[in-house]
Amino acid sequence: MQNDLKRIHLGVNIDHIAVLREARRINDPDPVDALGICKRAGADQITIHLREDRRHINDLDAQKIMFNSALPVNLECAIDADIIDIVCQLKPHRATLVPEKREEVTTEGGLDVIGQFQKIKKAVEQLKAHEIDVSLFIDPSAEVIEYSAKLDIDMIELHTGRYANIYAMLNTPLATTHHSIKELERPRSELRQLLYKSLEEIKDAAYQAHQKGLLVAAGHGLNYQNVHAMKEIEVIHELNIGQSIIARSVFTGLEQAIIDMKDLLK
């Protein structure tokens, strides 16, 4: 597979527009309205997550987005048989398989590729039979990449959540209130070492996957402050970013928020 390393592609994850809608359970704002704006602002891809509990994007959203998007659609989904059937009917440009736990606030950790190898293999085969490219959302681990590369996949997406959490612990006072990063309450000198280590892990994993002929994406928790480190890893082909872009758009408008992110990736 050819890898266009000249620039980093930006997938804008528009789930949070549906999160806002679901706060009132009405039909406003409609994530479909974001499609033209994303394209105009220079986004390369629309990313959505059709969760099993349909807490934000629902089936009708997914259908409308598939029908109306002029940009490729990257559909994140669990390795659940019913969801995979729906994805095969929707036929997005790519399916990204992600782990899903109902009680989590957002996707925590990467796929258990080793423990669920056969289940993932079956899902990959079904998706590929429907001519859908497949990516796996995984932790930056050499062993997980070894196993992932045994599957007929096109791409991996490296989970950057740990890097983002450590970055937040070092740089933002508010981060200490976040429930999921209590384990990171360490002296700053230790946090600096952890940040360095987590970036090295992402970098090593990215090069390993690239050498195995896979396209490399990364995402989760990336924002306008911490995204610069991803730019330095030249084999990273794509970033999928949601929360920080939609958060900024409340104040700047979506188009400007995407333009600002694209500028950082130049």
Interface positions with ligand PXP (CB under 6 A): 13, 15, 49, 76, 96, 98, 106-107, 137, 157, 219-222, 240-244
Q: Residues 16, 49, 56, 159: which is the catalytic one? A: 49
Name the minimum Å distance from CB 244 to ligand PXP.
6
228 is catalytic: no
Q: How far is CA 29 from the centre of its chain?
A: 22
* Nearest approach, Cβ of residue 189 and ligand PXP (Å): 27
Q: How far is the CB of 170 from ligand PXP (least distance, A)?
A: 18
The residue (of 101 and 193) whose beta carbon lies closer to ligand PXP is: 101
CB-wise, 96 or 198, nearer to ligand PXP?
Answer: 96
Q: Is the dihedral of CA 141, 165, 49, 33 positive or negative?
A: negative
- DSSP class of residue 10? E
Question: Phi and psi of 164, rounded to 5°?
Answer: -65, -40
84 or 193: whose CB is closer to ligand PXP? Answer: 84
The one catalytic residue in 159, 210, 220, 237 is: 220
Q: 238 or 255, CB closer to ligand PXP? A: 238
**Nearest of 87, 104, 103 to residue 50 by alpha carbon:** 87
Least Å distance, CB 139 to ligand PXP, is 12
Question: Considering 16, 76, 100, 157, which one is annotated as catalytic?
Answer: 76
117-129 and 81-90 helices cross at what angle (nearest 10)? 20
Q: Is 263 exposed, middle or buried (0-12, 13-18, 19+ CB in 10 A)?
A: exposed
CA–CA gap between residue 89 and residue 98 (Å, rounded): 19
Q: Give 42's Cβ-side CA count (13 Å radius).
A: 14
- Token readout for 259 is 């333009």
Least distance in Å: CB of 164 to ligand PXP?
7
Name the nearest CA neighbour of 150 among 113, 179, 187.
Answer: 113
CB closer to ligand PXP out of 166 and 187: 166
* Per-residue tokens: 184: 């990171």
Note if 220 is an active site residue: yes
Q: Phi, psi (5° rounding) for residue 223?
A: -145, -175
Q: Is 238 a catalytic residue?
A: no
Q: What token pair was written down for 37? A: 């704006």
Active-site residues, by number, are 49, 76, 220
